[in-house]
Amino acid sequence: MRFEFALGLLLIGACDSEPQYLTASAGIEYDPAQQGGDPAPPPPAVSLTLPFALETTEDAMARGMLAAQLGVDVPYVVVDDLDVSLEWTAKNLDAEPAQVRIFVSGASPFFAYQPSLLVVDPDEDPTPPPLMGDVPIDLPANGTASGVFREDQVREASIDLELITRGNLNPFAATLVSHADLVSYQPMTPLDPDNPDVLPTPVGPPIPIAAFAQLVRFDVSVVADHHVVVEYAVRVRDRRGVMHDDGLAAPPGELTTFAPVVYDPLGAAP
Amino acid sequence: MTVARTFLIAAVMLAVGAGRADARPAAHGWYAEVDLGAAGALGDAATSIAVGPALELRGGAHLTSWCAVGLDLGVSSHEGTVPAPPSGEWLQLVRGAVELRLGGMLGPIGLYLHGQAGAGYISSTLLERVAIQDPGEHLSLAVGGGASMTYQLANRHYAIGVGGDFTLMPGFASTQIVQGHLLLRYTY
């Protein structure tokens, strides 16, 4: 019995899910003195695209069959193929306490979500929220803080992105409500800002969770009231074996290239 | 007076009964061993690999009373103290090796030296951040050695002791791992 217990401990260690760590190529430096005193300009973003291996013929055939069965587009990487978390470290470069906000948006294989581009009238409309973040973080003078967007938060962000882009759900409604238990949704027509009284109507068949697109690109940006630098890294547990073993160092020819369209609610749905 | 006489009789009986003690008998043959201790890195890698718990299983056979061959399978868990981010993440280091052990018994005390060669496996890519791992690299050659000292229990099958191991993994930027452990050995 003692031997079996020890062997069990050993196997637990040996069968760990082999997380892959991907560090963004550069830190995000934000200095309000160089932003003209405007606290909310479109901040610079540093993107990190997850390195996926080329899709195998078997995977492509299975995906095609599922798409034909469901009657909807099925992306190469869907929610629950991966467990992803994003860890950040913020450093205050000034000798005074600072407050920093980190914004995380990104892209699925189909769409990229850029909240600032959804503002029709900057004088009237608030900027839609990012998929994650926008929480004030206090930094002591010359101090450092770290945090993480957990796996469940990134999963929720993937579902929110799916609902916003393919479902045409209002970004505020999508991000303020938890969809952890969502198993399908009905895509709707986008709301026409010129005719806000016309309610959206269902379009196409319902999309089940097996076709929910996973966040495959992270766009991280920063706003702060003092000079700060933010670095981040993404941790991926690959349940399906679709990530490239060499990570970000993989040859470009061995990686799947996505071409997400910048989401425009008045543009065409896929 | 009665008490003193009783003690005297007891002392005489002990003196008569006591002789030179035989060496404590120990079994020879197939053996299995479990080690529990801690492992950490030496040199530059020590800044990126924290000390962590280690579990090791060994098994083999005595070819002679002083020579044994066997297998060693060990796993240790370490916090990766690489520059943040990420921080607070852990990795597992798994090692498997064939082992040659030399040594013998001095009464109830056993002294052994061993050398081993095999492979080491790191469960994540966390150490790519500090170039200990190359991209996508999880496996490396692992060579090393160590020593152990045991105390033979009254039961001829069991011994307890302490030991230490040193492992060099050239594929992981020549990372050197040292381990200290308590051991329990069962010889059939």
Which tokens in the block code for residue B6? 């009783």
For A30-82, the pLDDT digits (tens) are 988 877 655 555 566 899 999 999 999 999 999 999 999 999 999 999 999 99
Are A250 and B135 a contacting pair at CB < 8 A?
Answer: yes
| A100 and A139 Cβ atoms separated by less than 8 Å | yes
What is the C-alpha separation between B34 and B57, in angstroms, rounded?
5
Does B62 or A9 have the greater pLDDT score? Answer: B62
- Cα separation, B59 vs B79, in Å, equals 28
- Taking 70 as the threshold, does the pLDDT of residue A23 lie above it? yes
pTM (global) more than 0.95 = no
Instruction: Identify the band that residue B91 occupies on the pLDDT scale cut at 50, 70 and 90.
Output: very high
- Residue A130 burial (C-beta neighbours within 10 Å; 0-12, 13-18, 19+): buried
Q: Give the A:B interface size as CB pairs under 8 Å.
A: 79
Chain B residue at shortest CA distance from A27: B85
Buried b (16+ CB within 10 A) or exposed e, B98-128: ebbbebebeeeebebebebebebbbbbbbbb
- For the cut 60, the answer to whether the pLDDT of residue A8 exceeds it is no
Residue A173 sits at φ, ψ, to 5 deg, of -65, -40
In percent, how much of chain A has pLDDT > 90? 71
Contact check, Cβ <8 Å, B84/A249: no
ipTM of this complex prediction, to 2 decimal places: 0.75
- Choice between A37 and A177, residue whose per-residue pLDDT is larger: A177
Distance CA A70, CA A66 (A): 6
Chain B residues within 8 A of A21 when measuring between CB atoms: 86, 89, 124-126, 128-129
Distance CA A155, CA A85 (A): 9
Read off the tokens for A101: 């906000």
Looking at residue A118, its pLDDT comes to 82
- The SS3 call for residue A270 is coil
Q: Which residue of A has its CA nearest to B33?
A: A3
pLDDT score, position A16: 45
Q: Which residue type is seen at B121?
A: Y
Do the Cβ atoms of A233 and A44 come closer than 8 Å?
A: no
Rounded Cα distance, A222 and A136, in Å: 11
